[in-house]
Structure 1
Amino acid sequence: MDNDVYGHVNNVVYYSWFDTAVNAYLIEQGVLDIERSATIGLVVETQCNYFAPLAFPQTVEAGLRVARLGGSSVRYEVGLFAEGAPQTAAAGHFVHVYVDRTTRRPVPLPEPLRAALQPLLRT
């Protein structure tokens, strides 16, 4: 996703990075199979604050934490950094409501998912 006409990565790409950071973590922890998991997370809220531009071909690093672990929802917070930078280029959040893949109705967080998220919980 190359730079836009202003010479930096367009703001919509940041949301893609947020999604990638969360899903990569869940896949690495073995609690998400994007094609077969019975429970999936749907984004119901999102926000991003921008502090410094990022531009291709910079390498972007993401920091991930969980701000709230509810019965069927999770608030993820993500910081995006230019590689090695001490300050965030952008910080944001999104809320997943976990639902049954077929019915799309909210379900309680499965215990393996809750256990994988617990170490990221920061209050």
Structure 2
Amino acid sequence: MTRPTAPSRAHYRHFRRLDTRWMDNDVYGHVNNVTYYSYFDTAVNGYLIDQGVLDIHKGATIGLVVETGCRYFAPVAFPDSLEIGIRVAHLGNSSVRYEVGVFKVGDELAAAAGHFTHVYVDRETRRPAPLPPDFRAVLQTLI
């Protein structure tokens, strides 16, 4: 089996700076694999909040994760500073597949690359809901 290659920065449309935390490291001296998923959520949802299209407390539409995955190419550890690249790989009526890359500041290739799919639903009914036009417009800039 051929090992996949790490994506470069050019693969992503937006970057968000995050610093690793002491608690992110595991007993092996690097960031634990499950922590990367927290980085993904922080980067994507932070971007959507900054753009004014996601209100996690009162918004009518919320995103639920239905699929996720990650490949690891190089270790990161506290106290590394990171840049999390995001892009939209698929934009449906109520679903979005995000692709996310974790880069050490200044590195050209990702230390990890992952994806997750949100299905956006009505907060009350938890049934899929079409993305509002302003939300869709913001997501289209990430394609």
Q: With the length of structure 2 as denominator, give the TM-score of the two structures.
A: 0.83
**Please, what is the CA RMSD of the aligned residues?**
0.6
Q: Which runs of 5+ in 2 are unaligned?
A: 1-22
Tell me the residue number matched to 2:10: none
SS of aligned partner of 1:96: strand
> Is 1:87 aligned to 2:109, yes or no?
yes
1:3 aligns with 2:60: no
Match in the other structure for 1:34: 56
Identity value in percent: 73
Which ranges of 4 or more aligned residues in structure 1 deviate by more than 4 Å? none
Query: Which of 38, 62, 71 is 2:93 aligned to?
Result: 71
Give CA deviations for 1:70-106 in whole Å, capped at 9, x if unaligned.
0110000000001111110000000000000111000
Q: TM-score, normalised by structure 1?
A: 0.96
Q: Where in structure 1 are there 5+ consecutive unaligned residues?
A: none
| 2:34 match: secondary structure | helix
What is the match of residue 49 of structure 1? 71
Q: Which residue of 2 aligns with 1:115?
A: 137
Give the counterpart letter for 2:98 in structure 1: Y
CA distance in structure 2 between the partners assigned to 1:81 and 1:54 by the alignment = 9
1:2 and 1:23 mapped to 2: Cα distance?
19
